[in-house]
Amino acid sequence: MTDFVHLHLHTEYSLLDGAVKVDELVRHCKENNIDAVAVTDHGNMYASLKFAEKCKKNKIKAIIGCEFYVVDDYHEHIDQRADHLILLAKNKAGYVNLVQLDSLAFVDGYYYRPRIDYTVLKEHTNGVICLSACLAGRIPRLLMTGEYEKAKEFALDMKAAFGEDFYIEIQDHGIPEQKQILPLLVRLARETEIGLVATNDVHYLHKEDW
């Protein structure tokens, strides 16, 4: 089994942002004995079918996901600050919920980008694993502005919605803001008894691709 599984990864379908091509990703995983990997493109699931088929052919576990843009009210077509949130399908029911959320994001919530809100999110939690995301997630943003109690309140709200399938996501890419909030994320996870998951915010395959 793989000791570390990438759960936060952007392909070329994260437009103007990700540089990982699906074919190269699967080939890289096969060559390096990586037996499971996720794809979590920004606001869309365009890569899902190709990714799943390529992984199945190469006996790699494909984890279907998406990094959603979440606002307070996705029906309001006005400028709202969008939180990032990682959602992963843990089973078929979860995949159906992700597809439904992504469809709603494009059909009902689209305003410059596909968006959902926390109300509709909580209606589609069955079979879905939720990670608190990168520095653009609500919890990291609150921690960066010194609002620890608000971050804790939000974390508990998400735990109530997802149960054990909500995780505090930690990352360390040498970014000062990440260094600043890492101890706070660990403290928050301990105080709320929410699991921690370490991810890399993957946008390319090899270090030299930077």
Nearest Cα residue to 184 out of 123, 113, 135, 122: 135
Nearby residues of 73 by Cβ (< 8 Å), 6 or more positions away: 80, 117, 119
Q: Is the pLDDT of residue 30 over 90?
A: yes
Query: What is the band of 2 on the pLDDT scale with cuts at 50, 70, 90?
Result: low
Considering all CA atoms of the chain, what is the largest pairwise distance in Å, rounded to the nearest integer?
47
**% of the chain exceeding 70 in pLDDT:** 99
Domains and CATH numbers, the chain: 67-209 (3.20.20.140)
Return mean pLDDT, the chain.
97
* Three-class SS state of 177: helix
Q: Is the pLDDT of residue 117 over 80?
A: yes
Report CA-CA distances (Å) from 2 to 5, 12, 106, 209. 6, 24, 35, 24
Residue keyed to tokens 């995301």: 133
Q: What is the mean pLDDT of residues 25-36?
A: 96
Q: What is the mean pLDDT of residues 48-77?
A: 98
Query: What is the band of 36 on the pLDDT scale with cuts at 50, 70, 90?
Result: very high
Residue pLDDT, tens place only, 123-157: 999 999 999 999 999 999 999 999 999 999 999 99
